[in-house]
Amino acid sequence: MADTLIKVDLSKPATSNENVHNRWHPDIPMACWVKPGDEFILETYDWTGGFIKNNDSANDVRDIDLSTVHYLSGPVGVKGAEPGDLLVVDLLDIGAKQDSLWGFNGFFSKKNGGGFLTDHFPQAQKSIWDIHGMFTKSRHVPGVEYAGLIHPGLIGCLPDQKMLDMWNEREVDFIATQPDRVPPLANPPFAATAHLGKLTGDAKTKVAAEAARTVPPREHGGNCDIKDLSRGSKIYFPVYVDGAGLSVGDLHFSQGDGEITFCGAIEMAGWVHMRVSLIKGGMAKYGIKNPIFKPSPITPTYNDYLIFEGISVDEQGKQHYLDVHVAYRQACLNAIEYLKKFGYSGAQAYSILGTAPVQGHISGVVDIPNACATLWLPTQIFDFDINPSAAGPIKHIDGSVQMPLSPDL
């Protein structure tokens, strides 16, 4: 049986757990050590450390201090790992904690985080999703049920000092180009809410001032939010420090491509059963700068889709040059408009696109001036027919159930 090397107690604050951290820095002490070939289990908080509750109010989504996230379990030291190696991580299984069989999806206020469609949904909203074995459904979003594609939103190894300095320099410079933007262009180091595992005292003060926030994906992987990096995947991570320092968190029961609602997945507390091994000198041998991975042999077999196209012309009719961000936004907005015809609110439709195993594709990036992106909506997750027909659309959702919304104060 694999040992549980890191445990989390959901009744206690994440900041009381010295095997958890919410920043990236090479001086964060290893929480535990393993050997190549070892199997082990890490428990994790949800990304907010338990701030978001299973209730019918979005006030917690509105009010959360986003400088506190993400709470990650680790770092796990791997004996013999050295800079330049590849750390091979098998995600043998992932699940929700038995005392917490639910997850949440949130739209963040434009003034506190924002999100992909924040101009269309500027206020905090939330949906709660109950977990029934491998399936999920929500009391706030009727008419859908689907199998989980369970994955860690966030997983990676500690950066070395040189990489950390590079991250900070480029992101701080970027923020300076538009310092007053809401939401901001990026998030600089912020010492006050840094939680650095076992670090205390003066050592903690120094590290907290320069430790990188966990928000973006970076060269080491980090907060990539890739739905297909799911249980059963094998990942190859670049190693930058002795021992590698593997950390994981932000578990998602399910998510659509793009994680478009910002807190766009079904966020949950849980556990990850994994195995590690090493490819010595693998970064140079394979020319690896960012992680690579193999997908799981087991994924939900939804194979019928309604596919929405979007092009790089924005909501105001302005032409953009091959901009896949604009094109994917249009594909998503087109899908939301379509689902509204069946009785969903825009928010419920948005929540489905964020949480269900929706595929997003960059379909064309050469035909100037328009990029074409597509959003693939699985039809089998609905308990009614969403295909276009001469008779339809039939209003299946009666509007009696809505998602909690909390206006800005």
What is the contact surface with Zn ion in residues (CB under 5 A)?
47, 153, 250, 265, 267
Closer residue to Zn ion in complex, CB, 242/267 = 267
Residue of this chain nearest to Zn ion (CB atom): 153
Cα 253 to Cα 311: distance, rounded to the nearest angstrom: 30
Cβ count near 39 (within 10 Å): 14
Closer residue to Zn ion in complex, CB, 85/267 = 267
Judged on CB neighbours under 10 Å (0-12, 13-18, 19+), 79 is: middle
Strand partners, 154: 249
Closer residue to Zn ion in complex, CB, 116/240 = 116
* SS3 state at 43: strand
Closer residue to Zn ion in complex, CB, 69/89 = 69
User: Taking the complex as a whole, how short is the minimal distance between the CB of residue 373 and Zn ion, in angstroms?
Assistant: 22
User: Taking the complex as a whole, how short is the minimal distance between the CB of residue 355 and Zn ion, in angstroms?
Assistant: 11
Closer residue to Zn ion in complex, CB, 96/311 = 96
Residue in the structure block whose two tokens are 């961000």 = 325
User: Taking the complex as a whole, how short is the minimal distance between the CB of residue 22 and Zn ion, in angstroms?
Assistant: 13
Closer residue to Zn ion in complex, CB, 105/345 = 105
Closer residue to Zn ion in complex, CB, 47/107 = 47
User: Taking the complex as a whole, how short is the minimal distance between the CB of residue 75 and Zn ion, in angstroms?
Assistant: 19
Judged on CB neighbours under 10 Å (0-12, 13-18, 19+), 226 is: buried
Closer residue to Zn ion in complex, CB, 130/309 = 130
User: Taking the complex as a whole, how short is the minimal distance between the CB of residue 17 and Zn ion, in angstroms?
Assistant: 19
The closest of 201, 159, 191, 197 to 20, measured between CA atoms, is 197
Strand partners, 374: 309, 361
CB of 405 closer than 8 Å to CB of 124: yes
CB of 312 closer than 8 Å to CB of 319: yes
Cα 141 to Cα 70: distance, rounded to the nearest angstrom: 26
User: Taking the complex as a whole, how short is the minimal distance between the CB of residue 56 and Zn ion, in angstroms?
Assistant: 21
Closer residue to Zn ion in complex, CB, 204/218 = 218
For the stretch 365-381, what's the b/e string if a residue is b when 16 or more beta carbons lie within 10 angstroms of its beta carbon? eeeeebbbbbbbbbeeb
Counting every residue written for the chain, the total comes to 409
User: Taking the complex as a whole, how short is the minimal distance between the CB of residue 66 and Zn ion, in angstroms?
Assistant: 12
Residue in the structure block whose two tokens are 């936004």 = 329
83: phi then psi, degrees, rounded to nearest 5 = -50, 135
Strand partners, 373: 310, 362
CB of 10 closer than 8 Å to CB of 99: yes
What is the widest separation between alpha-carbon atoms in the chain? 70
Angstrom distances, CA of residue 50 to CA of 8, 104, 269, 270, 338 = 11, 11, 8, 12, 34
* SS3 state at 377: strand
User: Taking the complex as a whole, how short is the minimal distance between the CB of residue 352 and Zn ion, in angstroms?
Assistant: 17
User: Taking the complex as a whole, how short is the minimal distance between the CB of residue 121 and Zn ion, in angstroms?
Assistant: 18
Closer residue to Zn ion in complex, CB, 210/250 = 250
Cα 222 to Cα 85: distance, rounded to the nearest angstrom: 17
User: Taking the complex as a whole, how short is the minimal distance between the CB of residue 118 and Zn ion, in angstroms?
Assistant: 17
